[in-house]
Structure 1
Amino acid sequence: MPNRLRRAAGLIAAVLLTASAATATTANAAPSSGFDHWSCKPSAAHPNPLVLLHGLGGNGPGNYSFLGPFLAAKGYCAFTLTYGQATPAIPVGGTVSIAQSSAEIQAFVQQVRQATGAAKVDIVGHSEGAFQSIYGPKVRGYAGQVGKVVALAPPTHGTTFGGLVSVGDYLGLRPLVDQVLQQFGCPACDELIVGGTAVAKLTTGPIAQPGVKYTVIASRFDALVTPHETSFIREPGVTNKYVQDTCPLDPVGHVGLAFDPTVAQLVANALDPAQASRVICAFGPPL
């Protein structure tokens, strides 16, 4: 990507993060909303707290520095974690095996439910986190504790491209990502390609679980999870959509999905379709 586009994407993200922090200040003061506020109790309007799952090579606070406060400002109790760290000394997640990460995520779901008193959570995932949002309820068997899943560009059927660590690149973690890969490798990378073991486990039999409402959102300009249709789940109870179906000129790429106000409103509408708002088209980071 030319340097001018990288600078533009960085500027867009900075503006979005500043705006989201301002709107989150008011929301966080309320006990029925907040981002990573463990005293938060869900409201009647949004009874399911949100579990936000980051992408490979990223971490929870960085990956959801925009979308987390945005959803909290909508009245949700939203929580994130950094799962799948090869070592706790380095804040890079998602590189260990899918099975190990999914066990950590399941434990976190239980922690959120216990802290909030909620019977169910809704899950929003990005990249590998989106894969985990679909994998966990089926393979680990906790679908009964999940109301909705909103998955941003999951490599559901495997990806032909192995560069999923670009989430870490965008968050400025590349040196740490390289250190993790050099010292510990990346089992998850091998498991998420076409024919990978985690992909095979997920796609054997129906993917969508009874009682869970799924929305899968992808971008036609995604250069990491390819082909783009690999994200979609062609089963009853699943809504599949491209960002460009709503906003044809939005150039958002794979990583940018978590930092795009267009996508943020699509996520909010999927979580609460009864109170859906008109999507105002914006321009997400094209990377």
Structure 2
Amino acid sequence: MCVRSFFTTHPNPVVLLHGLGANQNEDLNYLEAYLQSQSYCTFSLTYGAFPQYPEVGGLRFINESAPQVASFIQEVHTNTGATKIDIVGHSEGAFHSLYVPKFNGISGIVDKIVAIAPPTHGTTFGGIYAPFYLLGNLTIGLADEILNTVGCPACGDLVTGGAAVQRLNDGTPIVQSGNTLTVIASKDDELVTPTTTAFVNEAGVSNMYVQETCPLDPVGHIGEAYDANVWNLVVNALNTTPKRAFACSFGSPGKL
């Protein structure tokens, strides 16, 4: 949603990128509504879906989804007339928030990036190789059908040593000039494992665990998209107010 008056308070539109197996109406939908309530202009899309399963996003190879994400961000930039765009992603969407500015020619229009639980350096998926349906509202039967029909190319891209992970970590900086990155992770994440794989160890990057601010928060990987403490940390990053205090909540762990 984009209300023109929002630009007075927050001049950068925010593009939200869902996790693997989810879509624009599921995963970051509650965070998007929260940002809208805080007068942010937000946009989202379902990326990386196969034609047979249009509501199940993020399945395609990363290098197939990335141009779609980049095109959408460019479209938001053009249609809103904003100077810069901010990106907030969760899980695979967080990986795209790092990958797309680096490789798809949009870094010049990006300002702040907030990556929630990205498998930056690859993940063991907590020992589960086909977890994509866990981020969506899919039945096991549908997940099996999708696996048997189109597979999950993105799963192989994001495991430790996966092709997209290797490309992102090619020895050149992940964060591009003019972009500011905040990585938010949970010590109790059970899918992006080990949890330190999320962090980007480059100058100027803010890497944080939710529990450093809210020690009693038991949030897991899926729950990070729905956790009010995470939402507040996202707002702090978007507002460039990292020390802003807020009352911590104790929500659902959001674990498998």
- Shorter-chain TM-score above 0.5: yes
Q: Give the superposition deviation at 1:178.
A: 3.1
Paired letter, 1:243 = V
Paired letter, 2:72 = F
SS at 2:86's partner residue? strand
SS at 1:62's partner residue? coil
Q: Give the superposition deviation at 1:170.
A: 5.2
Equivalent of 1:67, from 26, 31, 43?
A: 31
In the TM superposition, structure 1's runs of 4+ consecutive aligned residues that sit over 6 Å from their partners are none
Q: Is the 8 A contact 1:51 1:124 kept in 2?
A: yes
Shift of the 76–88 alpha-carbon distance from structure 1 to 2, 3 Å rule, reads: farther
| TM-score after normalising by structure 1 | 0.82
Unaligned stretches of 5+ residues in structure 1: 1-34
Shift of the 277–73 alpha-carbon distance from structure 1 to 2, 3 Å rule, reads: farther
Q: Give the superposition deviation at 1:113.
A: 1.2
Shift of the 164–90 alpha-carbon distance from structure 1 to 2, 3 Å rule, reads: farther
The answer for the alignment partner of 1:126 in structure 2 is: 90
Shift of the 52–255 alpha-carbon distance from structure 1 to 2, 3 Å rule, reads: same
The answer for the alignment partner of 2:151 in structure 1 is: 185
The answer for the alignment partner of 1:279 in structure 2 is: 246
Residue 17 (structure 2) pairs with residue 50 (structure 1): no
Distance across 1 between alignment mates of 2:144 and 2:244: 41
Shift of the 167–282 alpha-carbon distance from structure 1 to 2, 3 Å rule, reads: farther
Q: Deviations over 1:146-191 (max 9, x none)?
A: 0000000000000012648656435422344332222101111001
Percentage of identical aligned residues: 49
- What are the within-5 Å matches in structure 2 for residues 1-287 of structure 1? 35=1, 37=2, 40=4, 42-87=6-51, 89-161=53-125, 163=128, 166=131, 168-169=133-134, 171-174=136-139, 175-204=141-170, 205-274=172-241, 277-286=244-253, 287=255
- Aligned residue-pair number: 251
Unaligned stretches of 5+ residues in structure 2: none
SS at 2:234's partner residue? helix
Distance across 2 between alignment mates of 1:154 and 1:115: 28
